[in-house]
Structure 1
Amino acid sequence: MQDRKKVFSWAFYDWANSAYSTTVMAGFFPLFFEKFYSNPDDVIQSTYQLGIANSVSSIVIALFAPILGAIADRGSAKKKLLITFAFLGVLMTAALWFVGQGEWKLAVFFYVMATIGFMAGNIFYDSLLPAVANRDKVDYVSALGYSLGYLGGGLLFLVNVLMYLHPDWFGIPDSLPLLSDFHFFLLLFGGVFLLYLLFFSYLSQKVMIRYLFIKQSLEGWHS
Structure 2
Amino acid sequence: MQTQIEKGNQKVINAWTFYDWANSVYPLVITTAIFPLYYKSIVGDDANVLGRSFDSVEIYSYAIALSLLIVSILSPILSGIADYIGNKKIFMKSFNYLGAFSCFGLFIWEVIPIELGLLFCITANVGFWGSIVFYNAYLPEIAKPENHDKISAKGFSRGYLGSSILLVLCLFSIMVLDWSPKYSFLMAGIWWIGFAQISYKNLPGDISENIKLSDGVLSQGYKELKSVWMEFSKIKRLKRYLVAFFVFSMALQTIMTMAQFFGTEAIDWSIGVDFSSLNVLSENYHSKRADMVESHMQTGMIVSILFIQLVAIPGAMLFAKLSNMWGNIKVLIVALIFWIFICLSAYVVNSPIHFYILAGSVGFVMGGIQSLSRSTYSKFLPKTQDHASYFSFYDVLEKIGMTIGILSFGYLTGAFSIRYSIMALTLFFVVGLILLLFVPREKKYDLSI
| TM-score bracket relative to the smaller structure | 0.7 to 0.9
- Give the letter for the 2:204 counterpart: S
Which amino acid in the other structure matches residue 192 of structure 1? W
The 2-side partners of 1:41 and 1:204 are apart by 47
Question: Please, which of 365, 386, 389 is the counterpart of residue 211 of structure 1?
Answer: 386
Counterpart amino acid of 1:6? V
Deviation at 1:188, TM superposition (A): 1.2
Q: Do residues 42 (structure 1) and 46 (structure 2) align?
A: yes
Distance 1:195 1:213 in 2: 24
Evaluate the alpha carbon distance shift between residue 55 and residue 210 of structure 1 in structure 2; reply closer, same or farther with a 3 A threshold: same
1:24 maps to what in 2?
30
- Which residue is equivalent to 1:77? 87
Higher relative contact order (CA 8 A, sep 6+): 1
Offset of 1:6 from its aligned partner?
1.3
Work out the number of aligned pairs and report it: 204
Contact 1:72/1:127 (<8 A) preserved? no
| CA shift digits 1:153-181 (9 cap, x unpaired) | 223223323433x22xxxx3x4x5xxxx2
Tell me if structure 1 keeps the 8 A contact 2:23–2:196: no
Q: CA deviation at 1:54?
A: 1.4
Let me know the Cα RMSD of the aligned residues. Answer: 3.0
Deviations 1:126-162 (A, max 9, x none): 0011332234432222121111112122232233234
Partners of 1:131 and 1:190 in 2: CA distance: 28
CA contact (8 A) 1:17 1:149 kept: yes
Superposed CA offset, 1:99-127 (max 9, x none) = 33462111100110010010011010000
Counterpart of 2:34, as a letter, is: F
Match of 1:7 in 2: 13
Deviating 4+ runs (over 6 angstroms): none
What CA distance in whole angstroms lies between the structure 2 residues aligned with 1:81 and 1:41?
A: 37
Q: Separation in 2 of the partners of 1:193 and 1:184? A: 14
* Alignment counterpart, residue 161 of structure 1, candidates 168, 171, 182: 171
* Structure 2 letter corresponding to 1:203: L
After superposition, the Cα gap between the structure-2 partners of 1:71 and 1:151, relative to the gap in structure 1 and judged at 3 Å, is: farther
Aligned partner letter, 1:35: S
Please say if residues 68 and 123 of structure 1, whose CA atoms lie closer than 8 Å, have aligned partners that are also in contact.
Answer: no
Which sits farther off after the overlay, 69-78 or 192-201?
69-78
TM-superposition CA deviations, 1:59-114 (whole Å, max 9, x none): 22233344455556665120110011001100111122233346211110011001
- Corresponding residue for residue 447 of structure 2: 220
Relative distance call for 1:93 and 1:26 in structure 2 (3 A) is same
Q: Show CA shifts across 1:7-28 (max 9, x none).
A: 1111111012111001101122
Q: What is the alpha-carbon distance in structure 2 between the residues aligned to residue 25 and residue 70 of structure 1?
A: 29
The answer to whether 1:133 aligns with 2:139 is: no
Normalised to the residue count of structure 2, the TM-score between the two structures is 0.41
Residue identity matched to 1:42 = D
The equivalent of 2:74 in structure 1 is 64
Are the aligned partners of 1:5 and 1:202 in contact in 2 as well (CA < 8 Å)?
yes
Establish whether residue 198 from structure 1 lines up as the match of residue 197 from structure 2. Answer: yes
Is residue 75–residue 210 contact of structure 1 (8 Å, CA) maintained in 2? no
Question: What is the Cα deviation at residue 49 of structure 1?
Answer: 2.4
Specify the code of the residue in structure 2 equivalent to 1:12.
F
For 1:194 and 1:146, how far apart are their aligned partners in 2?
Answer: 18
Q: Give the counterpart letter for 1:211 in structure 2.
A: D
Q: Which residue of 2 aligns with 1:115?
A: 125
- Matched-pair contact (CA < 8 Å) for 2:140–2:148: yes
Match of 2:96 among 72, 86, 91: 86
Q: 2:105 and 2:76 mapped to 1: Cα distance?
A: 29
Larger radius of gyration: 2
After superposition, the Cα gap between the structure-2 partners of 1:9 and 1:54, relative to the gap in structure 1 and judged at 3 Å, is same
8 Å CA contact 2:79–2:389 kept in 1: the answer is: no
Cα distance in 2 between the residues matched to 1:35 and 1:213: 40
Contact 1:89 1:115 in 2 (8 A): yes
CA–CA separation in structure 1 for the residues paired with 2:152 and 2:79: 18
How far apart are the structure 2 equivalents of 1:97 and 1:71?
33
**By percentage of residues, which structure has more helix?**
1
